Chains A and B, each alone.
Chain A
Amino acid sequence: MAFVSRPSRLLRPGRRRLLAAAACAFACAAGWPDAGAQEDAAQLELRVKAAFLYKFIGYIDWPAGSFARPDAPVTIAVVGADALAAELAQAVAGRTVNDRPVVVRRLKPGDSLDGVHVLFLGKAETARLAQFTQAAQSRSILLVTESDGALAQGSIINFVMAERRVRFEIALDSAEKSRLKLSSRLLAVAQQVRTGTP
């Protein structure tokens, strides 16, 4: 397995926590209109992940036949992350990506994956990742996770935290198996890109 790794600045964990607390304290006290600043770090992370999820759509090419019509909606299914699903539904309301509206669907384990284009597995469901992988690959579903090591189990994009920021890593080999094309511009901003198995 080859990793294209980007150098990252090093910050000691202790100091990082301190900074986050200070930033929050300052933001809360000042009462900034920016809603995100008022929330705690977890809420912020949730919001960022939700935003990234629908922004990914613009950099992905699904194989022909994935959509019934040119303006058919892109469906994002969320499993095991209800808070994120709610946040996402709010974020995509009224938005279009590549002239397609975006629909959010909450799924429970066992629900059909038909008509789904993006599937997000919350941390709670990471254990069942392997169950989804097969179905997702056959349906050309962009599988997004938020657990360390998920790429190795068939996830295509996996959120990671780096320097207190939400970043993501990409597995191109898995994307190829799902017949998905990821824009090189997306790869350029990924934390790391796994290109294939040796």
Chain B
Amino acid sequence: MNLFGAIARSIRLKLMLVVLATTLAALLVAGVALVIHDLTAYRQSGINDLLAQAEILGLASAPALAFDDAKAAGESLVLLKAKPEISSAAIYNARGKPFATYARAGGAVPDFPRLPETDGSRIDGNHFVLFKRIAQDNEILGTVYLRADYKWLQRLLNYLGIFTAVTGLSLVVALIASVWLQRVLTKPILATATVAREVVEHRDFSLRARKTTQDEIGSMVDAFNDMLVEIGRRAEELSASNRSLEREMAERLRADDERAKLNAELEQRVAERTAQLESANKELESFSYSVSHDLRAPLRAVVGFSKLLVEDHALQLDAEARRKLDVIQSEGARMGTLIDELLAFSRLGRKSMQMSDLDMTELARSTFGGLNGQVEGARVEFQLGALPRAKGDRVLVGQVWANLLSNAVKFSSRREKPRIEVSAISDEREHVYFVRDNGAGFDPRYRAKLFGVFQRLHSASEFPGTGVGLALVERIVLRHGGRVWADSRPDEGATFYFTLPKEQVHEPV
């Protein structure tokens, strides 16, 4: 089995590893620190010892040098055999000539420096080397030379040996301690883990872990058991609510099915009805067209013959008869106009629209200009704002402007200063154009009747008109996908609004 895998899966091995790693780390750090300290101290103390030795030697051999007694100097050097680490030594006289020498017994014959170096110590490979001047009364008598072993490598190896032994022993002790400790520590954890595994495998939330300690692990076991209780309860609730949800879902699906079926039926019925309505509408339109058309011939005959009657038999008719014939003629002319407008209205349903980009400002201005020639528009104060461009049939939209503007001129004509204002506002979907006058206005209660065919809110004697104009406006605007409405109070003027969509919509059926 892979060792790392085993460690990753076992808390017992992890704990053991922690204990061993801690022990090893502590030992390593302590060991390295000790060795470094000891080697430094060894080196320093070696130099210090040598320095002290040189001092003593210098003191002892000063008289020998002063009184030129090489033998005495040699005898003081011989005392160095008590210091086996000193391998060779020498004393030089004031002129730098060797005066007395010493070599450790059993060693190779040393190679003494020909001349003493300056005062000081240094490390020469595996040796300390030291030179020390001998001085008395400000006079240099000579120099002591000492050479001693510097066995740092051997010392290091000794330490490594000791360190290895200590480490091995410590690890064994730590291993035993950790085996005992982790048993105390991991037993309740492992027991809990076993219970947890069983819970997961068998989905049995009635299982409980046994609490054996009062420490954090004990409270963890308590928490685990509490959690089991909670999870068990939740699982129960969840399955209950799942069941009711499933029931609800099934009911809802069934209801959806029914609704869809109903909708389909409804749509089919609407389509059928629409088709019926369309055909009925068409029939009605063609009927009204033919009726209007057919009415023109007899009307022309009535008007024509009454004219002939006045022209040919004027002398036989008295004044009363001529007045009545005039009435017949004027009423006949009025009926002709009515029939024409009716024809135009019904024709609107059949004509196809030629959509184009329209400069509404220009269209409104030219339309008003056209009206100006006919009526007393010269007096009217006409305010035209900047209107947004729109998509539409030029002729039909022009008709809308013509009807609305002529209405405005007509109903404000009685004012002393008639004023007409044309402007527009836009939102994200559509442009709202409006025509406002300061004319007679209307009673808002009859607002609904405004756009009906032949609906008139004022008498013909007051304001002439057929009652078809606004119906025409509504029809055109609706065909363009817009809306029409109006706002007014009697004697306070009226505002007529119509909208055109920014995006061209499909022509409604």
Q: Which residues of A contact B (CB under 8 A)?
A: 6, 48, 52, 55, 58-59, 95-98, 165-168, 183, 185-186, 188-189
Give CA–CA (A55, B136) in the complex, Å: 10
Contact of A59 with B137 at beta-carbon distance under 8 Å, contacts A48-B68, A189-B69 already known: no
Give CA–CA (A52, B64) in the complex, Å: 11
Q: Are B137 and A189 in contact (CB-based, < 8 A)?
A: no
Number of interchain pairs (Cβ within 8 Å): 36
Chain A residues lying within 8 Å of B68, measured Cβ to Cβ, are 48, 165-166
Interface string of B111-145 (1 = CB under 8 A from A): 00000000000000000000000001110000000
CB distance from A135 to the nearest CB of B (A): 27
Chain A residues lying within 8 Å of B67, measured Cβ to Cβ, are 52, 55, 167-168, 189
Chain A residues lying within 8 Å of B136, measured Cβ to Cβ, are 58
Q: Which residues of B contact A (CB under 8 A)?
A: 59-60, 62-64, 66-69, 71-72, 76, 136-138
Interface SS of chain B: helix
A-B contacts besides A6-B71, A97-B137, 20 pairs, CB < 8 Å:
A48-B68, A52-B67, A55-B66, A58-B66, A58-B136, A58-B137, A59-B63, A95-B137, A98-B137, A166-B68, A167-B67, A168-B67, A185-B59, A188-B63, A188-B64, A188-B72, A188-B76, A189-B63, A189-B67, A189-B72
CB distance from B69 to the nearest CB of A (A): 4
Give CA–CA (A54, B483) in the complex, Å: 142
Give CA–CA (A186, B68) in the complex, Å: 12
Give CA–CA (A48, B69) in the complex, Å: 12
CB distance from B264 to the nearest CB of A (A): 135
Q: Are B63 and A185 in contact (CB-based, < 8 A)?
A: yes
Q: Are A185 and B137 in contact (CB-based, < 8 A)?
A: no
Q: Which residue of A lies closest to B75 (CB)?
A: A188
CB distance from B140 to the nearest CB of A (A): 14
Q: List 20 A-B contacts (CB under 8 A).
A: A48-B68, A52-B67, A55-B66, A58-B66, A58-B136, A58-B137, A96-B138, A97-B137, A165-B68, A166-B68, A167-B67, A167-B69, A168-B67, A183-B63, A185-B60, A185-B63, A186-B63, A188-B76, A189-B67, A189-B72
Chain A residues lying within 8 Å of B62, measured Cβ to Cβ, are 185
Give CA–CA (A97, B139) in the complex, Å: 10
Give CA–CA (A119, B68) in the complex, Å: 22
Give CA–CA (A97, B457) in the complex, Å: 151
Q: Which residue of A lies closest to B137 (CB)?
A: A97
Chain A residues lying within 8 Å of B59, measured Cβ to Cβ, are 185
